[in-house]
Structure 1
Amino acid sequence: MQQLINHIAAHPIVPVFYDDDVERCISVLEASYKGGIRVFEFVHRGVNALENFEVLLAYKKAHFHDLSLGIGTIKTAELAKTYAAIGADFIVSPIVNPAIAEETLAKGKLWIPGCLTPTEIALAESLGAPLVKIFPGDLVGPGFVKSIKPLFPNTKFMITGGVEVEESNVKNWLSAGATALGLGSKLFQNTGANTGAANAADELASRCEKLLSWTKK
């Protein structure tokens, strides 16, 4: 688990994506990888989520051996167990659910629970979560992370929601103490990723390259 956390810290830009069309999912995964992405979060938000994730896992194993592929929007222990069993590298939740901790952390699988208050962070920490998701990040801002970081020196933070595709925003989050940044719609907007536009892959890869370059000190 620690090796995976180190991998996330070394590759701190995490695309967060879902589409019903599995071919489009593969295209987005390929473009993201081409742009330097090595941690990718698919989300359980559609009827084809499980089926598409299984395809992406197989594709990753065949082509992207150094990519960590996780599943997000997991709200129940049953779903966590299902995705862990098929090989998800990590499980992300929008909530803190002790039952999910039992299906993941207790079995050596990285679980990243979503938190928005110090009380929720403390609960996640007590359950053994070494990395928590601050969500939605735009409700609190980098100042919140900077303020709470001293209270939880052993906990790492991934920010999702409110991360902009601009250098100052990326640097502000990281300097405040964030370990990783998850980007969903803001990463994919105007790239054509959700429409299959011809230049979508190149635009997305370029955007990922820029984001990763801004994380370098």
Structure 2
Amino acid sequence: MITEQTALQTVKQQGLLPLFYHDETEVCLTVSLALYKAGVRCIEFTNRGKNALANFKQLVAARDTQMQDLLLAAGTIKTGEEANKFIDAGADFLISPVFDKVVCDTVYLNKVFWIPGCMTPTEIHVAQQAGCKMVKLFPGNLLTPSFVEAIQPLFTGIDYAVTGGVDTTAENITAWFKAGVAAVGMGSKLISKKILETKTYDQLSNETAKVLQLIQSVK
């Protein structure tokens, strides 16, 4: 089992959390392999569709055979039941859009790293008091880098990831890291609908590699 410290350090070192969901298993596998080829070692597969759990299990099998140094997170986890199912399926850690007490208790009992979603100082405080080492600021397009700069002096000892409103441009990425985030989550801005429709997975690998390089240069 991956320790909480290992998961946290992997997210911080990579600085990028690619996140996606697709109904088709083959697409999920191909996207994951394309991201892995680019140098990604940590992926969030979101629980946003009817085939989420089944496809996640297939990704776990692929991880165990083809991408053994990849950390696979289950995202959009909102209930204790969902948390248990994805932990049992082999998730290395969990990510949520909210702070949920039952999910918190579940990950604590299972010693699984968890990144809850927060939008206010109160939510960040609750998460930190519960022992969370990183929170996801969401939605980033509403909170902005200025929000990160404002709250950082209030909460020491906790890291921030941001999702929503993050794109692949140098200007945007630089603004977030300059503000103080430890990682950025990217969904459709990176794994675009066009790439999925045209199956241009080499393009996805190339663009992801550039984003990873950019992040390392501005962290």
In the alignment, which residue of structure 2 is the partner of 1:34? 37
CA displacement, residues 68-127 of structure 1 (integer Å, 9 cap, x when unaligned): 100111110111011112210111111111111110034310111000000000011111
Distance 1:167 1:150 in 2: 26
Cα distance change, pair 11–101 in 1 and its aligned pair in 2 (3 A): same
- Aligned match of 2:125: 122
* Correspondence list, 1:67-216, <5 A: 67-189=70-192, 191-193=194-196, 195=197, 197-198=198-199, 200-216=200-216
User: How far did residue 190 of structure 1 move?
Assistant: 5.8
Letter in structure 1 aligned against 2:59: L
CA distance in 1, matches of 2:194, 2:10: 27
Q: What letter is aligned with 1:46?
A: G
- Residue 25 of structure 1 corresponds to 28
Contact 2:15–2:216 at 8 Å: present in 1 too?
A: no
Gaps spanning 5+ residues in structure 2: where?
Answer: none
Q: Compare the two structures and name the one with the higher helix fraction.
A: 2
Aligned to 1:3: 6
Q: Deviations over 1:146-180 (max 9, x none)?
A: 11111111111110001011011111111111111
Runs of 4+ with deviation above 4 angstroms: none
Identity of aligned residues (%): 39
CA distance in 2, matches of 1:176, 1:23: 38
Query: Secondary structure of 1:211's match?
Result: helix
Distance 1:182 1:104 in 2: 21
**TM-score (normalizing by structure 1):** 0.95
Aligned-pair Cα RMSD in Å = 1.1
Report the CA distance between 1:191 and its aligned residue: 4.5
